[in-house]
């Protein structure tokens, strides 16, 4: 399977970003996704002390979309892509085309996972074992 892509934001930054999204949604001065995105990019740039690169902006832009927005990428979307990759790999293990499509879906899964927040019930990958 493809190499993992480092997450755009750390688990701590995602936790802070979730709080920031909630603040922006409650604020009358930041009503829409575009305004929430601009506010979050400014805020994250300030806490990072440097401008955000496009990878960070993609993650924050997706997070700025309201839950339920059909354009928003979700963990469920990433899981469906991974399921498709595994199913294709198992079903078409003997066919070069099937392996190629499975590898492409696997790479897509890692790209999606890198811009999505970690599942709330899982510890971050760098957390010490319990």
pLDDT in tens, 20-78: 767 766 665 656 667 777 777 777 777 777 777 888 888 888 887 888 989 999 999 99
Closest among 123, 124, 90 to 106, alpha carbons compared: 90
| Residues 66 and 100 occupy one common structural domain | no
| Residues 25 and 36 occupy one common structural domain | yes
76-130 pLDDT tens trace: 999 999 999 999 888 887 888 888 998 999 999 999 999 998 887 655 555 565 5
Q: Which domain holds residue 21?
A: 9-71
Q: Is residue 33 part of a domain?
A: yes
Q: Is residue 4 part of a domain?
A: no
pTM for the whole structure: 0.73
| Residues 55 and 20 occupy one common structural domain | yes
Give every CB contact of residue 55 below 8 A, 6+ residues apart in sequence: 8, 114, 115
Instruction: Supply the pLDDT for residue 1.
Output: 46
CB atoms within 10 A of CB 125: 10
Q: Is residue 25 part of a domain?
A: yes
């Amino acid at each position: 399977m493809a190499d993992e892509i480092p997450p755009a934001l750390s688990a701590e930054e995602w936790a802070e970003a979730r709080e920031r999204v909630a603040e922006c949604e409650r604020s009358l001065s930041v009503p829409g996704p575009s305004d929430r995105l601009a506010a979050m990019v400014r805020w994250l740039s300030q806490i990072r002390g440097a401008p955000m690169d496009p990878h960070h902006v993609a993650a924050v832009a997706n997070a700025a979309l309201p839950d339920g927005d059909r354009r928003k990428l979700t963990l469920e979307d990433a899981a469906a892509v991974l399921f498709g990759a595994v199913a294709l790999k198992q079903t078409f293990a003997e066919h070069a085309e099937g392996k190629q499509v499975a590898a492409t879906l696997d790479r897509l899964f890692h790209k999606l996972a890198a811009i999505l927040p970690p599942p709330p019930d899982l510890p971050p990958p760098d957390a010490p074992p319990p």
